[in-house]
Chains A and B, each alone.
Chain A
Amino acid sequence: MSAANDITHADVLVVGAGPAGLAAATAAARHGCDVHVLDDNLAPGGQIWRASSVAANTQSTQPMSSREKAIAALHASGATLHCATRVFAAPANNVVDVLEQDEHGLRYTYRTLIVATGARELMLPFPGWTLPGVLGAGGLQALVRAGYSVAGKRVAVVGTGPLLIAVAAHLQEAGARVVLLAEQAGLRTMLPLAASMLLRFTKLRQGLHYAARLRGTPVRMGWWPVEAIADRGVLAGVRITNGSETRTIDCDLVATGFHLVPNSELAELLGCALAATPVGRRVLVDTYQRTTRADVFCVGEPTGIAGLDAALLQGEIAGLTAAGQPSTHLHARAAAERAFGKMLDRTFRLRKALRTLAAEDTILCRCEDASFAQVKACAGWTEAKLQTRCGMGPCQGRICGPATRVVFGWEPASVRPPLVPVPLHALISSTSHHEENL
Chain B
Amino acid sequence: MHRYDLIIVGAGIIGAAVARECARSGLRVAIVEAGTPGGGITAAGMGHVVVMDDSPAQLALTAFSRGLWREESFPVSVEYASPGTIWIAADEEEMAEVFTKKETYARAGVHSQVLSAPALAALEPNLRAGLAGGLLVPEDGVMYPPAAAAYFLRQAKEWGAEMIAGRAARAGEGSVSLDGGLRLTARFVLLATGMDCALLPAMPLRMRKGHLVITDRYPGFVSHQLVELGYLKSAHKVAGDSVAFNVQPRQTGQLLIGSSRQYGSDTVAINQEILTRMLQRAEHYMPGLGAVSALRIWTGFRAATEDKLPLLGPAEGLSDDPTLWLAVGFEGLGYTHAPGAARLLADRLLGRASAMELEPFLPARLKGSAAGKALHA
Contact = CB atoms under 8 A, between A and B. Distances in A.
Interface of A: 91, 379-380, 382-383, 386-387, 389, 392-394, 396, 416-418, 421-425, 427-428, 431-432, 434-435
B115 interface: no
A387 B272 contact: no
A434 B283 CA distance: 19
Q: Which 5 A-B pairs have the closest CB atoms?
A: A425-B290, A386-B146, A434-B272, A431-B276, A421-B293
Contacts of B272: 91, 431, 434
B295 A386 contact: no
Given A386-B150, A392-B296, 12 more contacts: A387-B77, A387-B146, A394-B216, A396-B296, A423-B290, A423-B291, A424-B289, A424-B290, A427-B275, A427-B294, A428-B280, A431-B276
A393 B295 contact: yes
Contacts of B213: 424, 427
Contacts of A383: 36-37, 39
Contacts of B43: 386
Contact of A417 (B36, B273, B292, B297): B297
A338 B185 CA distance: 57
A416 B275 CA distance: 15
Contacts of A424: 213, 215, 257, 279, 282-283, 289-292, 294
A383 B291 CA distance: 31
A173 to B, nearest CB: 37
A93 to B, nearest CB: 13
B38 interface: yes
Contacts of B292: 423-424
A427 B279 contact: yes
B270 A417 contact: yes
A418 B279 CA distance: 14
Nearest to B149: A386
30 contacts: A91-B270, A91-B272, A379-B36, A380-B36, A382-B39, A386-B43, A386-B146, A387-B147, A392-B295, A394-B293, A394-B295, A396-B295, A416-B296, A416-B298, A423-B291, A423-B292, A423-B294, A424-B257, A424-B279, A424-B282, A424-B292, A424-B294, A425-B283, A425-B291, A427-B276, A427-B297, A428-B290, A432-B280, A434-B273, A434-B276
A89 to B, nearest CB: 8
Nearest to A425: B290
A422 B295 CA distance: 7
Nearest to B299: A416
Contacts of A386: 36, 38-39, 43, 146-147, 150
Interface string B34-75: 011111000100000000000000000000000000000000
A423 B77 contact: no
Contacts of A435: 273
Contacts of A427: 213, 275-276, 279, 294, 297
Given A383-B39, A416-B298, A423 B293 contact: yes
Given A379-B36, A421-B216, A428 B297 contact: no
Contact of A428 (B77, B279, B293): B279
B54 to A, nearest CB: 29
Nearest to A388: B77
Nearest to B38: A386
B283 A382 contact: no
Nearest to A383: B36
Contacts of B146: 386-387
Interface in B273-322: 273, 275-276, 279-280, 282-283, 289-298
A423 B215 CA distance: 9
Contacts of B36: 379-380, 382-383, 386
A26 to B, nearest CB: 34
Contacts of A379: 36
Contacts of A389: 252
A421 B216 CA distance: 8
B298 A428 contact: no
A396 B216 CA distance: 11
A421 B255 CA distance: 14
B102 to A, nearest CB: 32
B95 to A, nearest CB: 28
A432 B213 CA distance: 16
B77 A422 contact: no
Contacts of B275: 427, 431
B256 to A, nearest CB: 12
Contacts of B38: 386
Given A383-B39, A424-B289, A416 B276 contact: no
B273 A416 contact: no
B273 A418 contact: no
B297 A416 contact: yes
Interface centre among A386, A392, A394, A424 (most CB of B within 10 A): A424
A383 B273 CA distance: 31
A27 to B, nearest CB: 33
A431 B77 CA distance: 35
Contacts of B252: 389
B126 to A, nearest CB: 13
A420 to B, nearest CB: 9
Contacts of A434: 272-273, 276
A392 B256 CA distance: 13
Contacts of A418: 294-297
A96 to B, nearest CB: 13
Contacts of A425: 283, 290-291
B109 to A, nearest CB: 34
Contacts of A392: 295-296
Contacts of A417: 270, 297
Interface centre among B77, B270, B282, B295 (most CB of A within 10 A): B295
Nearest to A381: B36
Contacts of A396: 295-296
B293 A422 contact: yes
Contacts of B290: 423-425, 428
B107 to A, nearest CB: 38
A384 to B, nearest CB: 10
Contacts of A387: 77, 146-147, 150
A392 B213 CA distance: 13
Contacts of B257: 424
Contacts of B297: 416-418, 427
A383 to B, nearest CB: 5
Contacts of B283: 424-425, 428
A104 to B, nearest CB: 12
B14 to A, nearest CB: 16
B276 A422 contact: no
A362 to B, nearest CB: 19
A393 B39 CA distance: 18
Contacts of B215: 424
Interface centre among B213, B257, B275 (most CB of A within 10 A): B275
Nearest to B257: A424
A172 to B, nearest CB: 38
Contacts of B280: 428, 432
A427 B283 CA distance: 12
A278 B377 CA distance: 46
B245 to A, nearest CB: 13
A428 B275 CA distance: 8
Nearest to A379: B36
A422 B297 CA distance: 11
A421 B291 contact: no
